[in-house]
Structure 1
Amino acid sequence: MPSGLLALLDDVATIAKLAASSLDDVAGAAGKASTKAAGVVIDDTAVTPRYVVGLAPERELPIIAKIAVGSLRNKLLVLLPAALLLTAFAPFLIMPLLMVGGAYLAFEATEKILEELLHEHEHEEQLVDAMVDPAELEKLQVKGAIRTDFILSAEIMAIALASLDHLTLVTTALALVAVAFAITFGVYGVVALIVKLDDIGLHLADQSASAARAVGNALVRIVPGLLTGLSGIGTAAMLWVGGGILVHGLEELHVLEAVPRFIHDLGHAAAEAVGAAKGLISWAVSALGGAVVGFAAGGIIAAIVRRLTKHPEELIVD
């Protein structure tokens, strides 16, 4: 976790000390929960910059601020109470709900891959380009970003909650509040920096110093590729995290245990075969196995959804 997030987490934990039985419990639990949710955080960071594409540069930061406020509101006013109710009255539902979220992430990632392969995203881009009212476009983008963030935030909070099952209700609540603030400010701080990199590059490119111009020109060239790369990383993270949650859920619920056992055994065998960096090799194989499971589950869901959402005339022809 970046040092900035750790500093923010320490500040939040200090404020929470008055109500918490142990500051170390809150800070440690929040840090652990944030680490567990890292894969979804990567996707959240990768997804958000596309919502300011096509908008005036001077509106980029205000739009990101609106999305960040909506994200924090989602976490604190909706998802946190729901998480605490689950902890208090139906803890047995946490894993099944987590698996539902994992399946949704896998579906979203698979849909992104299919849209790229079938060029279906071009229709959406044409609709956005056709909108001539900047205010309406901004409203649409913010609404879409907050809706997407709600799904990702729900998964972050669910992953965090699943790692806090040994704590009291009060400490769990404080840890989740710390996670909500740390993740939101961390993600949208990084997003703000990413979307302004091109402006920073243009500003530096106009400077008289040759070193500044070189850095500026490099940023102008790099930023488009960076955004494309982030999109790919986000999709991979969704498959890895969603599939990993499904694999873990199968193991916890003792359903289709052969799947998680096979992935675990394969990771162990690969690590032993390579010899060096066993931990890294084992993790990489497990992540790849989770991504394969995620793609399989996402593909099944995507096939069902696409079948059900076909136009009636297409169903008749088939």
Structure 2
Amino acid sequence: MSGGLAALLDDVAALARLAAASVDDVGAAAGRASVKAAGVVVDDTAVTPRYVTGFTADRELPMIRKIAIGSLRNKLLIILPAILLLSQFLPWALTPILMVGGVYLSFEGAEKIWEKVSGHHPAKEEAPAAAQGPDQEKTMVSGAIRTDFILSAEIMVISLNEVADEGLVSRAVILVVVGIAITALVYGVVALIVKMDDVGLHLTRRDSEGAQRLGGLLVRGMPKLLAVLSTVGMVAMLWVGGHILLVGTDELGWHAPYALVHHLEEAVHGVPGIGGVLGWLANTLASAIIGIVVGAVVVAVLHVLPKRKGAAQH
């Protein structure tokens, strides 16, 4: 009996070690996948704050919470099952689907530039967001979740590519970990960004002169930071959208655009000390140019040409 009990305990210990090793493997794989998707995470963090700009302070965190829940829903209930099935049965379909998302991101970024240059803003944007009622809040949250869907899709596909050699169940577990961790990171940072002015206001009421000075700096600086982040988010959509299209065309067999960008990267990569940075800038600039060109074409088709046609008919 004691021998059987000892053998059972040995088996339990072996299973525990195996489970611990599996957890470690999942954690390591999730970490690798998250690092590869870090660029898109930065873009997602930069894009989101513009959707809550202009609303009253008491609505900012509830809106971010709704967007975060929508982001998790995007990743875990829609994107994850879809890409797992596609990777298992139709792996060739992932790239074209992702490229459609790249076109959408390029369009969103180019549309914002067109609105700034032309002065053609939607009528509702002329009034403060807080004065436009619950419908405007729902519109902004829905818009943020739609944009997040594209960015989340790229995050999950990039992560999937990093663990493509794993089994189906391991892939699913790793991507769930990545999806939850990245969503918590992105929207935690976004919440901190949009509430920093409230933190600053609280500090200005403290007795400490240093705290008051820091609080005043935060209160004055946060509107400028949000404006900068809005611009960064707009540029990020062009950059990410263009990069999706650049890589996608290469994977589908049209190698010339990516080869040209690769040659540009190689040309500056040898510069001592800053070659790596210059190479990254070359790739980023090329991706942004592709994004703005593709986005401008879609903007012209959806906005400019119909208006000119209507004006000509009158």
Query: Which TM-score band (shorter chain)?
Result: 0.7 to 0.9
CA distance in 2, matches of 1:139, 1:290: 32
Shift of 1:197: 0.6
CA distance in 2, matches of 1:280, 1:81: 36
CA distance in 2, matches of 1:161, 1:106: 23
CA distance in 2, matches of 1:20, 1:261: 44
- Structure having the higher Rg: 2
Aligned pairs for 1:139-154 (under 5 A) are 139-154=138-153
Cα deviation digits, residues 148-207 of structure 1 (max 9, x gap): 322332232233223332222111111210111011111110111111111111111121
CA distance in 2, matches of 1:40, 1:121: 27
Aligned pairs for 1:144-183 (under 5 A) are 144-183=143-182
Cα distance change on mapping 1:313 and 1:106 into 2, 3 Å: closer
Aligned to 1:28: 28
Shift of 1:248: 1.5
Say whether 1:283 aligns with 2:280. Answer: yes
Q: TM-score, length-normalised on structure 1?
A: 0.84
Aligned to 2:104: 104
Q: TM-score, length-normalised on structure 2?
A: 0.85
Aligned to 2:62: 62
Say whether 1:231 aligns with 2:223. Answer: no
Say whether 1:263 aligns with 2:261. Answer: yes
CA distance in 2, matches of 1:144, 1:297: 21
- Alignment: residue pair count: 298
CA distance in 1, matches of 2:130, 2:174: 45
Unaligned ranges ≥5, structure 1: 1-16
Say whether 1:303 aligns with 2:300. Answer: yes
Aligned pairs for 1:33-112 (under 5 A) are 33-112=33-112
SS of residue matched to 2:47? helix
Cα deviation digits, residues 250-296 of structure 1 (max 9, x gap): 222221x2211111111111223x33232222122111111112222
CA distance in 2, matches of 1:137, 1:253: 40
CA distance in 1, matches of 2:146, 2:109: 16
Shift of 1:218: 0.6
CA distance in 2, matches of 1:66, 1:117: 32
Aligned to 1:14: none
Cα distance change on mapping 1:300 and 1:25 into 2, 3 Å: farther
Shift of 1:21: 8.1
Aligned to 1:216: 215
Aligned to 1:195: 194
CA distance in 1, matches of 2:184, 2:129: 30
Kept in 2, the 8 Å contact 1:203–1:216? The answer is yes
Aligned to 2:3: none
CA distance in 2, matches of 1:246, 1:52: 29
Corresponding letter in the other structure for 2:86: L
CA distance in 2, matches of 1:175, 1:58: 36
Say whether 1:242 aligns with 2:241. Answer: yes
Kept in 2, the 8 Å contact 1:44–1:187? The answer is yes
Identify which range, 284-293 or 155-164, moves more after superposition: 155-164
Shift of 1:315: 5.9
Cα distance change on mapping 1:57 and 1:270 into 2, 3 Å: same
Out of 291, 294, 297, the residue aligned to residue 291 of structure 2 is: 294
Cα distance change on mapping 1:179 and 1:18 into 2, 3 Å: farther
- What CA RMSD, in Å, does the superposition of the two structures yield over aligned residues? 2.6
Cα distance change on mapping 1:29 and 1:301 into 2, 3 Å: farther
Unaligned ranges ≥5, structure 2: 1-16
Shift of 1:30: 2.2
CA distance in 2, matches of 1:161, 1:20: 23
SS of residue matched to 1:121? coil
Cα distance change on mapping 1:310 and 1:20 into 2, 3 Å: farther
